[in-house]
Each structure stands twice: as C-alpha cells, then as structure tokens.
Structure 1
C-alpha cells in the first residue's frame, strides 16, 4: 500500500485591490480568483487550480507571492529573515546549553549548581544531559 501523493505546488500571485485580494496563477492560463481576506484568497486559488485540473483540492498546494504597492511586501521578507535568524540563534543556544551541561557534569559540578550557572531549571539540566 502506498501513502498519499505529495500535492503539486503552483505559484500564485496575490495583489490587493481595494478590499479584495485578486489572485492569478501564471502557469495556468485563465485561472483567476479573489477573496476578501488573504487566507480566503489562498483557499479560493487552491480550489480554482483543482477545478481547472479536474483534481481534488488536497492534491494541490499553492505558493502565494504577495505584491503590494510601494514594495510593501519587502517587509514580509524582512520578517521571515528575522524569524529565521531568531530560530537559528535559538538552535545555537540549545546546542551550547547541551554542550555546557555536559562539560559542567564532566567537571564534577552538581546539577543544582549547573542550573544556576546556566540560568535554567534543574529539570532542564537533566533534559540537556539526556538529549542526543
């Protein structure tokens, strides 16, 4: 038995026009739709693509590209980059905490003291020591 097929992804362009998000799908001629909210427009795009292809909506994924006046969409990219940097910093912090907990244990430091030195709870130190 095989698992569900991966949905095909289509690029869609969403532009704000007054109160409506207008969506076009460049790779599928004649596929246009709209929605009052961004989420509604994305769902409508997915349904429009599925209808055009005569397939189930769950077989379609939509990669929305937002276009706003004055390059306002650049702020969306800036937020995405900032979040990626935050996530990488958090991952680096966790790696350093794990490494530090192990070094402190190897140096004979008690868990209660390691917790204070690292600024985490005793329970977190125990977790760090057992993480792989």
Structure 2
C-alpha cells in the first residue's frame, strides 16, 4: 500500500503534471509546425524551384520485382523534416531567450521593502516616545 501512496504523491507533484502538459502542448505544436512547413512554406519553395513537390523527391535504388516493393530513398521527406526541425528549434530558442530575459529583469528589479506590520508600527511609536 505504501508503494501506491508514494506513486500517487509522485504523479501529483507539480513537476510531473507540468511535464505532462508540456508534452501534450509540444505534440500539438509539432503538428502546427508540420502543417506550416508542408502547407505554407514548402509549396512556394517548390514553385520557385520549378514546380517541385518535395514529397515526390526520391531516388529508386531497386525497382519493384514481383511481389517485392521498390526500394526508394525518399529524400524529399527528409528535407521537409529538416525544415520542421529548424523551425521548431528556432521557436524554442526564441521562447527560452524571452524567458531568460524576463527572469533577468525580475532579478534586476529591486524588491520594495514590505510595509511595516501593525506590531512594528506600535514598536516604532514606543521607541519614539522613549527617545523623548
């Protein structure tokens, strides 16, 4: 029973929940970037390069024989995955850079001293009365 309790405490810690949320958001972000690359970026690049569809770029190493499929090196998909990676890496770099600059600004800003509590005010008044 203790093992189950320990696992429950571990699973409900903030770090584990934050990690799960990050993985889910990261997966969704990956789909968005893939769509951006496949549907927005690569088609104009293909037109610029003479109407090339990158998904069709491949080299046939061995032709199909009977029931055996052809052996194909699909380097067009590789190019698209590299573009996906570069975009994702750049966005993550910019997000981390923004977070680091925000943390630096927070650390550099002097914290205002807390207002005195009622007890401290009373003690100050007593001190001032004793000085007189």
User: TM-score when scaled to structure 1?
Assistant: 0.32
Q: Which has the higher contact order (CA 8 A, sep 6+)?
A: 1
User: TM-score when scaled to structure 2?
Assistant: 0.32
Higher strand share: 1
Quick check: which has more Rg, 1 or 2?
A: 2
